[in-house]
Amino acid sequence: MKNISKKLIIIIILIFFIGLGFGFYLDNYLQKNIKQIEADDLSLDDQEATIRAINKIIPAVVSIIVYDQEDYTSYNSSTGQKDVVKKKTEKGSGTGFIISADGLIITNKHVINVAEDKTAEFRIILNTGKEYYAQLIGKDPINDLALLKIFDKNLPTVELGDSDQLQIGSTVITIGNSLGRYQNSATKGIVSGLGRNLVATDSTGNAGSFDDAIQTDAEINLGNSGGPLIDLFGRVIGINMAIDEGGTAIGFAIPVNDVRPVIKSAKESGRIIRPRLGVRYMMITSKIAKDNGLVREDGAWITKGEDGSAAITVDSSAAKGGLVQGDIIFEINVIKIADKNTLLSVIQKYKPGDKVGLKIQRGNKVIIKAVELDEFK
């Protein structure tokens, strides 16, 4: 009996350890496979989100072909007579997207600047292949933006996101008429940087400066200019604008929140209205402050351009309000000017004719100025 009991105990112990070992094996096996399944699901989710986002916005993305009149000289071989005739010629192409069901389209200013305003023609091609000719509504005097209008109803439109919520590493997608040949080409990447300052030059040699650009490694090819930069929900968070040809996959977009005033004024008044302070400035960083011996490490430093252009525009609100070169504006109506709150972005919260209070560092003194904003012309 005792031997039977000992054998029974040994059998029970063996079963216990065999079961324990099998349990560890099964747990390890399941964990590995669950992790693989989860990884596969995440990859699939990302792919599905990308496809959904592209399909959501593509109906509202348009290709833009720009034409202008050019003089051509012909000779009559029998008489030797020279004739000059005008012919419509394709000057360039780009991308835009529809922001209202009645046909407002936003694009880059440099896309349409390849032709003269009075003689230019803008052909719009929808993803369906349907074509229109568009009317120029206006060009933004501040950003590289322009508005066109086609005349129809119930057109597909985009959903605008919130570019202030963007973070470095966020997944983004660009869509555009790449090289003027590949309509609605999509590329994918991440937000590589925020609040970038840059000077960009278009094909006509005109330069513009930007102090709040989104940097992305999603390829922005020639012809993509004016197209949307979107998130994985298919919402527009930027307008593709420029690339840095000195690097690889370094592109820039205008934050959509900087575009909202243009859209609002166009919908309300039928033209682009921008309030103006009338200063040329540089957003201060600790390096800029140290290099130039400034007493503050934040704010907008009023300074002349590298080309020698004046720091204060003649007859502007700033000139009339007594601002001078070297002033540092660090608050507007108690809103601190720093980081994403650039001087430009804060001023654009107001309308021409609004009075604003500026807190200014002038040398070692802090002064307050009240100015009435005028309008960019």
Q: What are the φ and ψ backbone dihedral angles of 167, each rounded to 5 degrees?
A: -130, 150
Q: What secondary structure letter does DSSP report for 26?
A: H
The mean pLDDT of the chain is 85
What is the signed CA dihedral for 113, 115, 118, 122, rounded to 10 degrees?
Answer: -90
State the Cα–Cα distance between residues 303 and 312, nearest whole angstrom. Answer: 8
Element (H, E) at 40: helix 2-57
Judge contact between 327 and 362, C-beta under 8 A.
yes
Share of the chain above pLDDT 90, in %: 55
Distance CA(283)–CA(64), nearest Å, equals 34
- Greatest Cα pair distance, the chain, in angstroms, is 134
What is the set of active-site residues?
110, 144, 225
Residues of the chain with CATH 2.30.42.10: 275-375
Using CA atoms, how far apart are residues 106 and 100, in angstroms rounded to an integer?
10
Range(s) of the chain covered by CATH 2.40.10.10: 59-149, 159-269
- Its CATH architecture, for the domain 275-375, is Roll (2.30)
CA distance 354 to 147: 25
Reply yes or no on domain 159-269 having CATH 2.40.10.10. Answer: yes
235-243/159-160 β-pairing: parallel
pTM: 0.77
Q: Which residue has the tokens 């009338």?
A: 278
Average pLDDT of the segment spanning 289-305:
92
> What was the pLDDT predicted at 44?
53
For domain 59-149, the CATH architecture is Beta Barrel (2.40)
Q: What is the mean pLDDT of residues 51-77?
A: 88
Render pLDDT for 314-341 as a digit per residue (tens, 0 to 9): 989 999 999 999 999 999 999 999 887 8
The CB-side HSE value for 242 (13 A sphere, CA atoms) comes to 25
DSSP assignment of 308-343 equals: ---SB-TTSHHHHTT--TT-EEEEETTEE-BTTB-H
Show the tokens assigned to 347. 């001023």
pLDDT in tens, 358-375: 999 999 999 999 999 999
- 198 pLDDT above the threshold of 80: no
Model pLDDT, residue 59: 96
E strands, 104-255, where?
104-107, 121-125, 131-139, 146-149, 159-160, 171-178, 182-201, 207-216, 228-230, 235-243, 251-255
Cβ atoms 349, 340 nearer than 8 A: no
Please answer whether residues 215 and 250 qualify as being in contact, where contact means their C-beta atoms are separated by less than 8 angstroms: yes
